[in-house]
Amino acid sequence: MKRFAFYGRVSTEDQQDPQSSRNWQLARSRQVIEPTGGEIVEEFFDIGQSRSLPWKRRPEAARLLDTFRNPHRGFDAVVIGEPQRAFYGNQFGLTFPVFVHYGVELWVPEVGGAVDPGSEAHDLVMSLYGGMSKGERSRIKTRVRTAMASQAAIEGRFLGGRPPYGYLLADAGPHPHPGKAANGQRLRVLAPDPAAAPVVQRIFAEYIAGKGLHLIAQDLNRDGIASPSGHDPDRNSHRATGRGRWAKSAIRAILQNPRYTGYEVWNKQRKDEVLIDVDDVSLGHETRMRWNDTSLWIWSQEPVHDPLISTEQFETAQLIFGQNTRTRRAPTQSRNYQLAGLMRCGKCGRRMQGQWNHGRAYYRCKFTEDYPGCDDHPKSIYVKEAAVVDGLNRFLHEAFHADIDRTIQTLASVDEPDPRADERHAELTAQIADCDRRLGKYRAALDEPDAELGPFIKWIAEVERERKTLQAQLGRSVPGGKLNKTQVRALVEALQDIVTLLADADETDRNELYQELGISLTYHPDGRVLVEALPRGVMVRVGGGT
């Protein structure tokens, strides 16, 4: 008897019941293998994962590939009920060689059994289904976007999302789709928020009257008016710093939002899929939100909710924005920040921003009353990049070349940063095993005929997120104990090449080298710079000052 592992997938895009989808994919798989006496002994089923994700980024598909390495795995082959759900675009060509390498057969109904690695016909069929899968997803996206555009333009329908500051969501009657209406879904419409709507009107009036963004924010803070994040903390739970305080960015976002005119406006942003790594296309894409040009925005034909301002007020505000936009000269030289992302303020701990002054790179931390929390913070802290870079390179050269013996002696006498590393490693491993146990329990419960799908789907997603976080923590953990001189010398010598490159490296490459060394800088107003190094994959900390 040949033992099989089953792989299937269902995503939120499919709008399908995960249990029903799993059941029919299983049934289709059994139709292929049972005539030959095959039996499914293990299941791998991804829920809520898009087909566009490569196998290594789908939890269950990645777990399936990991089992291939185990010579004592409990199956000899893998069966897939519908290849369109498993393979997208060129994923078959990138994944099937792994099956062949580990001697695991792949069975699909479309070829009536096992895929033959030497058959051009089989390869053509599987590639064809990958292309069909990609085309189907593209057609779905086109239909959905076209339907939403017409709903916004012709019907003026509110298409979801959180309401803009100044509005609340109000009921607008049953959903026009009979099936959704039967499930209790209802339409929503924007209604003025009695507390926030007057603030929006005040902001537009003051800006048109000539008051600047910063002054408007100052006056609102002085009057004790809560910002959008303070007015509704659930909207911006991630904003721990400055919550409740107005900043220029919030004022600008309100002044540039056309929905305050009473019109429904859609398509202000779009989702672009960009390669994660142009040098490794197999990693797939990630979604980035980007702003569309105003000419691509979709406006409703008529006002559909109560306006807070007139169209003339909005157009006047945009005209002022255009007049205040400065035409900047193209820089005569490229602006490369060698310490981009590495410099922090020693007073408040925030990342310092790069700024170009008189043809030279600086880093600054500009503290304003919009973000309280550090009473003795100077209004502005500046540091010249050249002063820090020169001292940093001298420090690294001395630590890894001129005074290498002292560096080795120092590191060899210091314990690892986490004395509980071994214990922590064991804790993480146990927690991951507990996640696997719970996932198995939930998936087994889905097999029950009277199981309620909703809770189990939510629990599975939560546990998978928890497991992913624990795996990331486990990857960063290292055994505890003290490094001996031999280990430290090997480590330091391995880093010498990177330090050597710094002297001759182009300014555009230095930032990458600093990141390889894990450099972190903390600048204090008295001129001290704390240097910490945490090389990638190395749990060793080197401190110093320039």
Q: Residue 210: left (phi > 0), alpha (psi -120 to 50), or beta?
A: left
Distance between start and end Cα atoms, the chain: 70
Q: Could you tell me the mean pLDDT of each successive run of 10 residues in the chain, 546 residues long?
A: 93 73 93 93 92 90 93 93 90 93 94 92 90 86 86 84 90 83 85 93 93 90 88 66 74 93 90 80 80 88 93 91 58 69 81 83 74 65 86 78 68 53 74 83 68 62 70 52 58 64 67 75 85 53 39
Calculate the alpha carbon distances from 263 to 266, 268, 307 in Å.
10, 13, 8
Three-state helix/strand/coil letters over 444-513: HHHCCCCCCHHHHHHHHHHHHHHHHHHHHHHHHCCCCCECCHHHHHHHHHHHHHHHHHHHHCCHHHHHHH
Sign of the alpha-carbon dihedral angle for 226, 227, 230, 233: positive
User: What is the per-residue burial (b if ≥16 Cβ within 10 Å, else e) of 264-294?
Assistant: bbbbbeeeeeeeeeeeeeeebeeeeeeeeee
Model pTM? 0.54
Number of CB atoms found within 10 A of residue 312's CB:
10
The residue assigned the tokens 């309100």 is: 254
Burial of 152 (0-12, 13-18, 19+ CB in 10 A): buried
Comparing CA positions, the residue from 348, 351, 355 lying closest to residue 371 is 348
* The listed CATH number (1.10.1270.20, 3.40.50.1390, 3.20.80.10, 3.30.1960.10) that belongs to domain 3-138: 3.40.50.1390
Angle between helix 248-255 and 213-222 (nearest 10): 110
Distance CA 535, CA 11 (A): 38
List the chain domain ranges.
3-138, 156-170+190-264+300-325, 391-545
Radius of gyration of the chain (CA): 29
Q: In this predicted structure, what is the pLDDT of residue 367?
A: 65
What is the pLDDT at residue 204?
Answer: 95
Instruction: Provide the CATH topology of domain 156-170+190-264+300-325.
Output: Hect, E3 ligase catalytic domain fold (3.90.1750)
Partners of 286 in the β-ladder: 274
Give the containing element (helix H, strand E) for 173: strand 167-174
